[in-house]
Amino acid sequence: MLWRGLENEPSLFVFSFKSMSVMSKDDSKMDSVKYGLLKLIDVSGFKVFDPVVRLCFREEPGKQVGEIVRYMVIPIIFVAFCIGAWAVIAPRHKTKAGRVPDPSQVLSALSVNHTLHVRENEKEADFNALDSRREDRIASVEVTLKEKETEEVELKKKLAEVEVACQAEIDQRLAPLNARLEKLRTSHKEAADARKSEIVTLSEKVVAETAAEDELTALMASDVKLKDEAKEKEKRVKELIEDVKSNPPKNLKRTQLAYNGLAIEIAHLKKRLDYLGKSNRGEKVAVAKADLAKKEEKLKAADEPAGLLAAAKSVVRSEEKVDRIASQSYPRGTTIWFQVWRSLFTVFIGFIMAALVAIPFGIMCGLNRVVMACLTPIISIFKPVSPVVWLLIFQIVVGAFFPNPETHPFFVMMSNIPWVSSLKVNPAMVYSACTVAMCAVWPALVNTALGVSSIDQDHLNVAKVLKLGLWQRLVKIVIPSSLPLVFAGLRISLGVGWMVLIAAEALSGSEGLGKYVWDQYQNGGSMSFANIIFACFVVGIIGFFLDRMMIILQRSVSFDDGAAVV
């Protein structure tokens, strides 16, 4: 019976095979696109999207849908559930810095921070704008300013209306609470008075020796206790009142926020006009030049030696002033994206420093057991040291190299490199980068040593038979065969470096995401808690992409992986 059942199967199989082969003939071009995409997904490590691509090309739709549900939809639902739980739980927890922000507040932190960045860009462009571009900008800003101002007037009116309307609502909500508080107070007062007279009579009795002293003290103790209880009750009601006051109706809150936003925007537009007008660099240069022309005229007109000397002096001074103003740049405020760039730059500098040390030393360790034995104690003792300790050590040790950072040739050089100058390299950044390097060096070092020491004996035999020299052996055999492990180590290093960097920046005060978080924590504004959580997401997302980048690099250098072809 069983045998017969099995017999049927081959024909089924042949049938399905045939239908498949017909299909593949039709869209062989589509297939190449499909497999290209699949390979790309594989290389970049986004395996999750594999069934999506297969589904798009109609490969076993049932199976793919199952996979998508299992590995995409369910996780998405789970994440959504987590966010929902966050939204529900967070506002219930009151802290010194207000309630824990919910997802919508964090999202609005993103837009607020981004707007700040955009506005800084606008102001910088205004500061640098010249001639016709400047005039165009003035015109457009004035138009928007006028619009916004009319809008503001309307909104102000609306806000007043809403305030009145809401005041009634608030009063309505407050009235019972106030009444309750009043009632509590009078009842407590009455009770307290009653207790007081009781105590008085008792004390008289004690004097007359008709009652014991113990009784009096007991009565006093209970009086204190009851008073405390009464206070506690009143406090609770007061809290409720405060809560109503500090949580105005949503309508009012929204209007207030809109009004505040508009006011800030108007202030920004006015500031822009200032940068386009009086504070514009071109304008300032022109003023300084006019001044210079006046001075030069005076110099020409001077006829006695003392006056001539003084005039010449003032001409030189105004020439200097013109130069100084012409080379001024806009004093940019730090914004989140600037801080992100600076953090990325710092982590890459630290990472490259780590790689430059780790790879050669790792290779030496892997090739020579004596070197390995020499370095092992150093590695094992310094690997577990906290980044905070390294930062402090670097601040002292490296700091000694630049007693006057402003005039130190290194920083002067850095401020003259086109891309780097805008990042404002300073000693704090150097310390942070050194800390990153110090903490990131170990995984790369250990992995490189492992990769080199585990080279296939066959490949070493090839080198022996060919009598390759040391350099050839390194370049042709040792390095290529250990590259996959080296890159695995570098990937861990970069992850560690990014994690360490945030702490180092916070502690050293080097502009970057770490300092951003620290500043937000210190300034305690109404948005700062949301900003901190927003920064937490920024750090996480960037860390994720850095890791993905390293995965791709690692895949593309590993020789035994077919994915390397893409």
Partner 1 sequence: MSRRHDRRYVEIANLTKAYPNPFGKDIEVVKDFNMIMRKGEIVSVIGHSGCGKSTVLTMVAGLNPISSGSLAVEGREVSGPGPDRAVVFQSPCLLPWMSTFENVMLGVKQCYPHGTKKERREICEYYLNLVGLADSMNRYPREMSGGMQQRVGIARAIALKPQVLLLDEPFGRLDSLTRMDLQDVILDILDREKITTMVITHDVDEAIYMSDRICMMTNGPEATVGQILDVPFKRPRQRQDVLDDPHYYDFRFALIAFLEKQEHAKDSHVAAVKERLNAPEKAESEVVSV
Q: Where along the sequence are the contacts to partner 1 (CB under 8 A)?
A: 458-459, 461-462, 464-468, 472, 476-477, 480-481, 483, 559-560, 562
Burial call 481-518: b when 16+ CB within 10 Å, e when fewer: bbbbbbbbbbbbbbbbbbbbbbbbbbbbebbbbbbbbb
Q: CB-wise, 6 or 565, nearer to partner 1?
A: 565
CB 97 within 8 A of CB 528: yes
Q: CB-wise, 419 or 471, nearer to partner 1?
A: 471
Q: How far is the CB of 452 from partner 1 (least distance, A)?
A: 15
Q: How far is the CB of 466 from partner 1 (least distance, A)?
A: 5
Burial call 427-453: b when 16+ CB within 10 Å, e when fewer: bbbbbbbbbbbbbbbbbbbbbbbbbbb
Query: Which residue reads 């997904």 in tokens?
Result: 41
Distance of CA 55 to the CA centre of its chain: 36
Q: How far is the CB of 34 from partner 1 (least distance, A)?
A: 21
Q: CB-wise, 241 or 460, nearer to partner 1?
A: 460
Q: How far is the CB of 485 from partner 1 (least distance, A)?
A: 14
Q: How far is the CB of 475 from partner 1 (least distance, A)?
A: 11
Separation of alpha carbons 173 and 247, rounded Å: 12
Q: Which of 304, 261, 74 shows the shortest CA–CA distance to 152? A: 261
Over its C-alpha atoms, the chain yields an Rg (Å, rounded) of 37
**What is the end-to-end Cα distance of the chain in Å, rounded?**
51
Q: CB-wise, 214 or 458, nearer to partner 1?
A: 458
Q: CB-wise, 481 or 528, nearer to partner 1?
A: 481
Q: How far is the CB of 351 from partner 1 (least distance, A)?
A: 24
Q: How far is the CB of 86 from partner 1 (least distance, A)?
A: 47
Separation of alpha carbons 329 and 120, rounded Å: 13
Q: How far is the CB of 484 from partner 1 (least distance, A)?
A: 10
Count H helices and E strands in the chain, helices first. Answer: 22, 2
Helices (H), 383-523: 387-397, 409-414, 418-421, 427-453, 457-465, 470-472, 479-508, 513-523
Q: CB-wise, 433 or 478, nearer to partner 1?
A: 478
Q: CB-wise, 90 or 468, nearer to partner 1?
A: 468
Q: How many CB atoms lie within 10 A of CB 274?
A: 14
CB 538 within 8 A of CB 517: no
Separation of alpha carbons 443 and 445, rounded Å: 5
Q: CB-wise, 208 or 465, nearer to partner 1?
A: 465
Q: How far is the CB of 559 from partner 1 (least distance, A)?
A: 4
Q: CB-wise, 430 or 477, nearer to partner 1?
A: 477
Residue type, 514: G
Q: CB-wise, 267 or 564, nearer to partner 1?
A: 564
How many residues belong to the chain?
566
Q: Is the four-CA dihedral 276, 277, 279, 285 of positive or negative sign?
A: positive
Q: How far is the CB of 472 from partner 1 (least distance, A)?
A: 8
